[in-house]
Amino acid sequence: MPDAARRPPQSGRGAHGGRVDGGTVAGAAIEKLRPDLAAKLEQGGRVRVATARIGSAAGDLARLANRVRVLSWLLAALTLAAGAAAIALALDRRRAIARLGVGAATAGVAIVVAYTAARAVVLAGVSDPDERAAAAGVWTAFLGDLRTLGWALGGGGIVVAAAADSLIRPVAIEGTPARAWRTVAAEPRSTPRRLARAAALIAAGAIVIAQPLTVVQVAAIVGGVYLVYKGLESALRGVYRPRPEHEPARRRRAPLAAVIVPAALLVAGSAGAFVAAGGAAAPGPAVDACNGAVALCDRPLDQVVLPATHNAMSAPLPGWASAEQDRSIGGQLEDGIRGLLVDTHYADRLPDGRVRTYFGTDAQLRRTAQQDGVSEASIQAALRLRERLGFRGEGERGMYLCHTFCELGATPLADALKDIHDFLATHPSDVVVVINQDYVTPADYVKAVGDAGLVPYAFSGDPATTTLGQMIDSGRRLMLLAENHAGAAPWYRLAYASLTEETPYTFKSARLLTDRADLPASCKANRGPAKAPLFLINHWVSTDPIPRPSDAAKVNAYAPLLARAQECERLRHHLPNLLAVNFYKRGDLFRVVDTLNRTVQAGGLK
């Protein structure tokens, strides 16, 4: 399994709550329909590139889906209101109901026709038979529910139109094709219209020649809908008996309710059946990989090594004066990082867009700086810089991910949590651990997690007894730990009270992490009890105030990183579960993690 840890995972073990990730659907469809193609893709290394591209787009789509979901409810309410208003204002209400039904049926048919035509066009662009079969499976997995929705909408509209129309005279549907044909056959008088007509006819002819089966299928759909309409109309007309002419007008209105109520129930029933059947949230077939490897599924979390990043929020993003990682949190997760060490502060966003850290008191500032390993000289320099650059005035307080001073770089906590949410939603076979160096209250942090939609993923079990497979099957695959103050939710727990032990985290030179003679000192106990189920190895060089990628390249190289991990495991009698580094792309972090996990499988580490 060379470089397996370097590749982003390609499949999922299960989908929590019926929510399916695009990558899982694609991977499962390819494996199900064309296992030989799946094997070729994995051997050729092309899956990694495709997954990286799909993952970032899927995150954008996940964010868009949240907005569209709200908009869909608003549009549905407006549609019902508009329909009710049309019926109330119409001179002939039954005719208005019939026309609304025809409109719904037309929309449903248009969805089905568009789905069929688009599918044909997309598959026509795939020449390889194997790839075409896989693409067809992916298309159906992603968009098959759209066709179902079209049929439900069309069927409901037909029932409404037929029920209402059977009580009056039929709508002259048969005349519509004749009128359309006369329009097409007639030669326009103006030259531009003649040219437009000629181009349209040529395009239509080309489609018929290139996709004859698709054209036949579309024609069959339209014809079938027409036959269903006429059949329902005939049946309903046969059972309807008009009321006598001498009956009072108020009694003649009774059939209106008899049409609206059953039709509404039928439409609601169709929609309910569609949603109950799973709709767009139908789970995909389960597969067996956990964090990218089948072998990890049966191991508890304390027997798995995860690649992690120190100050994961410190990335080359707008507003950051310096960075300690190569990509944003979302990018790190896509690249294979599964452990995130972050710092959360209160800060004020000023009118000019700058962010100013809120420390409360000077004592709190110094406690924070001491915990972060920041020197007194750096504190004074940062404070002077804050004044000179105009970090003054009133601002809007919020929570940000910063390394001591948000003036030097800040990412809104909500944005980072959204990145984590999007990753988990699009990678349902992965487990992620977050250790938060917290300077915000547990209640505020827990609320932010809830606002990001992460609570359904939060894990509150025992990492020593719960396997990765069990975490993934339950959907509880995000472990959220706090350094200072936990609580406000059962899943937000203290990292170093009982769950995590660690090594020191301040090393001023690369030699302290690479020379054999210095390794024992680098592995000595720091925070956390010796019997904690998780073991964090802090593996980076602290060069205050500017981190150096060149140091990371030295200490993250395969031989020194593996040597230190194995030495710390020997001295601490614990597998390193979180291997945290700076500039994770420098060196061989993922290859070392892969080696350690394979060593556990072989029985080399306990």
Q: What is the pLDDT of residues 144-153, one digit of tens each?
A: 667 777 777 7
Question: Is the confidence at residue 305, as pLDDT, over 90?
Answer: yes
Question: Is the confidence at residue 251, as pLDDT, over 50?
Answer: no
pLDDT of 551 reads 95
Tell me the two tokens of residue 507. 């090393």
Summarize the confidence of residues 467-493 as an average pLDDT. Answer: 95
pLDDT grade for 5, boundaries at 50, 70 and 90: very low
Q: Beta strands 355-357 and 339-349: pairing type? A: antiparallel
Maximum mean pLDDT: which of 33-37, 130-134, 369-373, 510-514 = 510-514
Summarize the confidence of residues 283-291 as an average pLDDT. Answer: 61
pLDDT grade for 284, boundaries at 50, 70 and 90: very low
The 3-state secondary structure of 402-435 reads CCCCHHHCCEEHHHHHHHHHHHHHHCCCCCEEEE
Type of residue at 225: V
Average pLDDT taken over every residue of the chain:
76
Q: Among 176-190, 237-251, 426-440, 522-536, which stretch is predicted with the lowest mean pLDDT?
A: 237-251
Query: Coil, strand or helix: which one is 563?
Result: helix
Question: Is the confidence at residue 527, as pLDDT, over 60?
Answer: yes
pLDDT of 103 reads 77
pLDDT of 269 reads 47
Concatenated DSSP letters of 522-533: HTS--SS-TT-S
- Between the two ends of the chain, the Cα-to-Cα distance in Å is 21
Question: Is the confidence at residue 48, as pLDDT, over 50?
Answer: no
pLDDT of 116 reads 80
Residues 6+ apart with CB under 8 A from 220: none
Q: Which residues of 455-466 are buried (b: 16+ CB within 10 A; e: fewer)?
A: eebbbeeebeeb
pLDDT of 90 reads 73
Type of residue at 131: E
pLDDT grade for 274, boundaries at 50, 70 and 90: very low
Summarize the confidence of residues 435-463 as an average pLDDT. Answer: 96
Residues 6+ apart with CB under 8 A from 147: 111, 112, 115, 116
Cα–Cα distance measured from residue 562 to residue 595, given in angstroms and rounded to the nearest whole number: 8
Summarize the confidence of residues 361-375 as an average pLDDT. Answer: 61
- Residues counted in the chain: 606
Convert the pLDDT of each residue in 205-250 to its tens digit: 888 887 787 778 777 877 777 777 677 667 656 655 555 555 554 4
pLDDT grade for 375, boundaries at 50, 70 and 90: low
Q: Are 152 and 270 in contact (CB under 8 A)?
A: yes
Closest CA to 281 of 101, 522, 577, 19: 19
Provide the percentage of residues in the chain whose pLDDT is more than 70. 64
Type of residue at 294: V
Convert the pLDDT of each residue in 576-589 to its tens digit: 999 999 999 999 99
Question: Is the confidence at residue 374, as pLDDT, over 70?
Answer: no
Residues 6+ apart with CB under 8 A from 319: 355, 409, 410
Q: Among 105-109, 277-281, 473-477, 555-559, which stretch is predicted with the lowest mean pLDDT?
A: 277-281
Summarize the confidence of residues 304-308 as an average pLDDT. Answer: 97
Concatenated DSSP letters of 28-63: HHHHHH-HHHHHHHHHHTHHHHHHHHHHHHHHHHHH
Cα–Cα distance measured from residue 40 to residue 21, given in angstroms and rounded to the nearest whole number: 22
Question: Is the confidence at residue 543, as pLDDT, over 70?
Answer: yes
Q: Which domains does the chain have, with CATH numbers?
A: 90-281 (no CATH), 294-601 (3.20.20.190)
pLDDT of 2 reads 42
User: What does the CA dihedral 571, 303, 456, 317 come to, rounded to 10 degrees?
Assistant: 60
Matching residue, tokens 């025809």: 102
Question: Is the confidence at residue 51, as pLDDT, over 50?
Answer: no
Q: Among 19-33, 385-399, 435-449, 520-534, which stretch is predicted with the lowest mean pLDDT?
A: 19-33
Higher-confidence position of 317 and 20: 317
Higher-confidence position of 406 and 419: 419
pLDDT grade for 605, boundaries at 50, 70 and 90: low
Question: Is the confidence at residue 14, as pLDDT, over 80?
Answer: no
Q: Among 3-12, 62-71, 296-305, 496-505, which stretch is predicted with the lowest mean pLDDT?
A: 3-12
Q: Which residues of 536-546 are buried (b: 16+ CB within 10 A; e: fewer)?
A: bbbbbbbeebe
Which one-letter DSSP state was computed for residue 284? Answer: P
User: What does the CA dihedral 250, 252, 254, 258 come to, rounded to 10 degrees?
Assistant: -160
Q: Are 486 and 501 in contact (CB under 8 A)?
A: no
pLDDT grade for 376, boundaries at 50, 70 and 90: low
Summarize the confidence of residues 383-411 as an average pLDDT. Answer: 76
Higher-confidence position of 26 and 590: 590
Summarize the confidence of residues 565-570 as an average pLDDT. Answer: 96
pLDDT of 134 reads 63
pLDDT of 29 reads 46
